[in-house]
């Protein structure tokens, strides 16, 4: 969906870079943001890395599944 709207994509990229890479969010919330964006963008490489990061931070499979389900159904 973001690829269909360049202006929205640019705004999302700015938010994502500031929030996730800029250190604004705690680590758990960063992983949720990365999982969500990777799911929405269908980026399999980023999704795999996000799942691994989530597991390292103590997320269980059910929590990861809930995050991705919410993203898909939103």
- Tens-place pLDDT, residues 16-55: 788 788 877 899 999 999 999 888 888 899 999 999 999 9
- What's the DSSP call for residue 5? -
pLDDT at residue 4 greater than cutoff 80: no
pLDDT at residue 1 greater than cutoff 60: no
Tell me what pLDDT residue 3 has.
Answer: 66
More confident residue, 6 or 57: 57
Please, what is the angle between helix 27-41 and helix 44-56, to 10°? 160
Judged by average pLDDT, the poorest of 11-15, 52-56, 69-73 is 11-15
User: Where are the alpha helices (H) located in 1-74, listed in sequence order?
Assistant: 6-16, 27-41, 44-56, 61-73
Q: Where are the domains of the chain?
A: 2-73
């Amino acid at each position: 969906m973001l690829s269909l709207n360049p202006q929205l994509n640019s705004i999302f990229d700015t938010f994502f870079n500031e929030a996730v890479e800029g250190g604004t969010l705690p680590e758990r919330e960063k992983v949720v943001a990365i999982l969500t964006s990777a799911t929405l963008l269908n980026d399999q490489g980023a999704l795999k890395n996000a799942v691994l990061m989530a597991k390292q931070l103590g997320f269980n499979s059910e929590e990861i599944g809930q995050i991705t389900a919410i993203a898909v159904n939103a």
